[in-house]
Amino acid sequence: MAKQDEDLRYRRQQVSITAPPPAPITTPTQTRTLSPIVPVANQDAIRVAYANALFPFVAPVDQGTLRATYGIQSAGRDTNTGLPSVSPSAPRIRNYFLGKERASQAQTALEAARVAAGGSQTDSGYAFLNQAINLMSTLGAAGEEEGMSRGAYNEFTSRFNELMEQAKTNNVPAFYQQMAQMFVQPTFSSGKLMETDKYGFGSASRRLFT
């Protein structure tokens, strides 16, 4: 009887051997698509390529700024050769710088420079600059013989100012803002397309626009 009780106690104290818990089911980590980080040196090269592309399309005064800032001498066909002192009072000159054709040619040159330099279409700076040029391609003068009315130029300038405000809010690099300003609102050695009142508000020159 004692032997049976001892066997019973032994069986009760036995430790059950159980199978180890199954390994947790893991899922592959989701792949994240990250924008490539472009080295500073490459960014500088890309910006110089863009400045080179737009050099033939900006006013002589602005060409001088590009030469001094980026060491650019010439690129492609300099459309402003022979116009060292461009005056916006000449309708043909004014209409050219506000024209859709100039904008279209500049967009083509800028895109070719982007491809050659390895720039990205989704880069905020390139996208902004292209949008600014496209604004003139859409709202600009039809040609050298057809200019913009005073109201049309005021509307165009208002739209561009809104675009510039967005660029500042979105921290678009200063280079792209400067290039857009040069292209859309060229600096002339004599006269201005905009008149600024004592409160700092600008409107199309009454002398140049009817």
CA distance 50 to 75: 11
Model confidence at 41, pLDDT cuts 50, 70, 90, reads low
Q: What is residue 81's predicted lDDT score, i.e. its pLDDT?
A: 42
Number of residues in the chain: 210
Residue boundaries of the structural domains of the chain: 41-195
Q: What is the mean pLDDT of residues 102-117?
A: 94
pTM attached to this predicted model: 0.71
Is residue 206 packed enough to be buried (19+ CB in 10 Å), middle (13-18) or exposed (0-12)? exposed
Burial 29-54 (b: 16+ CB within 10 A, else e): eeeeeeeeeeeeeebeebbbbbbbbb
| Residue carrying the six token digits 């300099």 | 78
pLDDT in tens, 13-34: 554 444 445 444 444 444 443 4
| 58 pLDDT above the threshold of 80 | yes
Token pair in block for residue 54: 């737009």
